[in-house]
């Protein structure tokens, strides 16, 4: 499961759902390692952007998230919240990423809920990273 009660309490009700960004690795190749363009990662980026149409979720592409061994990769970020890195995605995972991002946008505790998260974002979870504010010395 994600998070611990203390972390969740610290970030309770810290936002209105704005500021969610999906970052897709455009450099990831398909299972054959093909260099054909568009790459599998670029195709995932397009599918994600299409799925985000008419939402407030921002989608952007970067080259390599450092998760190459887990195939197609993406991250979901939200201002002041935990960040999530996923792997084992497919070029068709865009709707799953946006479903997860939408769930995150509606979260009131700064944590991407496990319940309701698409299976690909459960199986594919690689890491979650706390916001810097959570690590500050409370003194």
Q: Rule CB under 6 A: say whether 102 interacts with ligand FES.
A: no
Counting contacts by CB under 6 A, is residue 68 touching ligand FES?
yes
The answer to whether residue 83 forms part of the interface with ligand FES (CB under 6 A) is: no
Compute the distance between CA of residue 25 and CA of residue 17 in angstroms, rounded to an integer.
23
Q: Minimal distance in Å, beta carbon 107 to ligand FES? A: 25
Supply φ then ψ for residue 124, to 5 degrees: -90, 0
Q: Quick one: which of 14, 21, 27, 90 contacts ligand FES (CB under 6 A)?
A: 27
Take residue 82 and report the two structure tokens written for it: 């935990």
Radius of gyration (Cα) for the chain, nearest Å? 15
Beta carbons of 127 and 90 less than 8 angstroms apart = no
Q: Does 39 participate in binding ligand FES (rule CB under 6 A)?
A: no
Residue 59 within binding range of ligand FES, rule CB under 6 A: no
Interface residues toward ligand FES, by CB under 6 A: 25, 27-28, 41, 64-68, 73
């Amino acid at each position: 499961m994600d998070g611990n009660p203390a972390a969740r309490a610290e970030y309770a009700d810290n936002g209105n759902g704005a500021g969610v960004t999906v970052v897709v690795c455009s450099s990831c190749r398909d299972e054959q390692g093909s260099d054909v363009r568009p790459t599998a990662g670029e195709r995932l980026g397009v599918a994600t952007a299409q799925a985000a149409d008419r939402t407030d979720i921002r989608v952007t592409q970067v080259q390599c998230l450092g998760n190459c061994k887990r195939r197609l990769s993406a991250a979901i970020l939200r201002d002041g919240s935990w960040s999530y890195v996923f792997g084992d995605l497919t070029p068709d995972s865009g709707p799953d990423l946006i479903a997860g991002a939408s769930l995150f946008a509606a979260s009131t505790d700064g944590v991407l809920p496990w319940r309701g998260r698409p299976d690909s974002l459960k199986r594919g979870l690689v890491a979650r990273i706390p916001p810097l504010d959570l690590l500050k010395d409370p003194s």
